[in-house]
Amino acid sequence: MSATRPYVLVLYYSRHGATRTLAEQVAAGVESLGDIDARLRTVPPVSPTCEAVDPEIPESGAVYATLDDLRHCAGLALGSPTRFGNMASPLKYFLDTSSELWLNGALIDKPATAFTSTASLHGGQEATLLSMLIPLLHHGMVYAGVPYSETALLATTSGGTPYGTSHVAGGRNERDVDETERHLAKAQGRRIARLARALHAETSHA
């Protein structure tokens, strides 16, 4: 167990920046509680050629996640662009390196949530969010979406689902994350932080 303050790992992949903006809102929601941290991390792109080597520190955005970031988190918020109705391979690739955590049950009973960005309104947001939930359930995590007490879910004409926050980017990624999408991402961050804080307190006193 880490000696640092409990934190929610906000782990995302983003090529054009939309999922990164959602991640920053989720992190702001986590930090708004004041007594639990958000640890914002990304993953490197994967290359079809095994020779390609990227710098160890990305040019912009969060630094790359390590397995220890995942191992010691009190909760997880996972963000990915939609790729053919599924999560992007760099994020899946990272999760596929987490067998040791699975073997040791390191993520059991920790809360998790997911968020995504698509080009089009009906481009597979819910399918992607549900696909992101599958490996988290294998790890024994407790999934939390966005409840309808967030009334923006009923009113939104852009992103936002009970499975997790979403954003609609448009065919040329021309659409910024709007106020409703930002609001829901932040609320999602607050919720996962509250759950992480409660479950962390329960397990650390057990």
Ligand X SMILES: Cc1cc2nc3c(=O)[nH]c(=O)nc-3n(C[C@H](O)[C@H](O)[C@H](O)COP(=O)(O)O)c2cc1C
* Interface residue list for ligand X (CB under 6 A): 14-19, 81-85, 117-120, 123-124, 169, 173
Find the shortest distance in angstroms from Cβ 161 to ligand X.
Answer: 13
CA distances from 94 to 85, 99, 149 (A): 18, 10, 33
Find the shortest distance in angstroms from Cβ 125 to ligand X.
Answer: 8
Cα gap 206→190, rounded to integer Å = 24
**Quick one: 35 or 59, whose CB is closer to ligand X?**
59
Cα gap 178→191, rounded to integer Å = 20
> CB nearest ligand X: which residue?
123
DSSP single-letter state for residue 164 = B
Cα gap 137→76, rounded to integer Å = 12
Query: Which residues are 168's β-sheet partners?
Result: 118
For residues 181 and 131, the answer to whether their CB atoms sit within 8 Å is: no
Cα gap 128→92, rounded to integer Å = 12
State the greatest distance between any 2 C-alpha atoms of the chain, in Å, as a whole number: 50
**Quick one: 7 or 13, whose CB is closer to ligand X?**
13
**Quick one: 12 or 197, whose CB is closer to ligand X?**
12
**Quick one: 124 or 189, whose CB is closer to ligand X?**
124
Find the shortest distance in angstroms from Cβ 168 to ligand X.
Answer: 8
**Quick one: 29 or 125, whose CB is closer to ligand X?**
125
Find the shortest distance in angstroms from Cβ 120 to ligand X.
Answer: 4
Structure tokens given for 52:
């390609």
Find the shortest distance in angstroms from Cβ 16 to ligand X.
Answer: 3
